[in-house]
Amino acid sequence: MNQTKLWTISRDSFWFLPIVYGLCSIIAAAVITALDVWLVPKVSSSIPNILLTGQSIAKQLYSALITAVLTMTTISFSTIMVMLTTYSSQFSPRALQDFMQSKITQHVLGVYTFGFIFVLINLWLLTETNQKDLLSPFFTVIIMIISLGFFILFIHFSARWAQVNFLIGVIRNKTSELIKETFSERTYGEHQHWDHSQIEVIREKDRQTINARRSGYIQQVNYNYLIKWATNNDMVLEATFQVGDYLPKGMSVFYFWSLGNRNDNLAEHDRFLVIGNERTDLQDIEFSIEKLVEIAVKALSTSMNDPNTAINCIHRISGLLTELAGNYRPVTYYSDSDGDLRLIMQQK
């Protein structure tokens, strides 16, 4: 589950993909430079002249392209800041997660990072060689054309995300997928009822507690891992939380009763829970619906006075509640592959 938590942090950040693109650009620059130094002098007569560039022209080209990349990056970051301000003031601060998680935004910044580092390294290496014909400027021009295409794509993408109806549609579609995933990902036995006499026998044993090691919101629960861990240690777990709840540090996360003689060390809750500083839409269906509620409430405020947006949100919420009613199962008890009770967890 630590891997899931790390992936969640990386997914929601602006730095992850640009760093990946930056590392790739260093590798690409090294490969292109190696071609210029070792391959081009040997086969320059076989390469069309349009693909080869002199050193003086390459320096001027690199200087101009660096300025162009920085300009596109500056405009893109300014657009992102405008979008963040618009979301916070007019839509919902919680909806910022949907914009930040968008792969287009992160890939655009990554392509800019790739282009800037690639041009900068080539300009730096250009001073270390006296070679007459170079192939690297041709590849640099291709990369800049791709960067320009991503810049146009980002402007179009930002214009769409600035439309509240598009944002509402995105939240609605993501929530619909979340509803289907939440009630289809579990593989162990699920039960709405259980023999209370068996539960009373279990509760007569000494109850032990697993406490939270840090404060935060419950973002995701790995049910399969919990049941497997409880089976291996012959115990029954009872959760004291629901997905989306806030847990202070030191509060109980699970109660458990040991049914056998095996007494392993208590499992750290970080192994099967993802706890973060804010609520996310990993498994929290209620949080996703609350985004639409906040957008509708803000649309009805005196400062905006936009009833059509509120009506649109109500239509989408009604559709989600219909899907939720068709998929929801009030599962409280979970058993292992042998049919033994292993987890008790109340559902919202």
Query: pLDDT per residue over 66-124, tens digit each?
Result: 888 888 888 888 888 888 887 777 787 777 777 777 778 888 888 888 988 888 888 88
pLDDT tens digits in sequence order for the chain, 348 residues long: 545 556 656 655 667 888 888 899 999 888 888 887 777 767 666 777 667 777 777 778 888 888 888 888 888 888 888 888 877 777 877 777 777 777 788 888 888 889 888 888 888 877 655 666 677 788 888 888 998 898 898 888 888 888 888 889 989 999 999 998 888 766 668 888 888 888 888 888 888 888 888 889 988 888 888 888 888 888 888 888 888 899 898 888 888 888 776 555 555 556 778 888 888 888 889 998 999 999 999 888 888 888 899 999 999 999 999 999 988 888 888 888 888 888 888 888
pLDDT at residue 187 in the model: 60
Classify residue 37 by its DSSP letter. Answer: I
To the nearest whole percent, how much of the chain has pLDDT over 70? 86
pLDDT at residue 264 in the model: 54
Which amino acid appears at position 179 of this protein?
Answer: I
Classify residue 327 by its DSSP letter. Answer: H
pLDDT at residue 318 in the model: 95
- Exposure class string for 179-218: b at 16+ Cβ within 10 A, else e: beebbeeeebbbeeeeeeeebeebeeeeeeebebeeebbb
* Number of other CB atoms surrounding residue 341 within 10 Å: 21
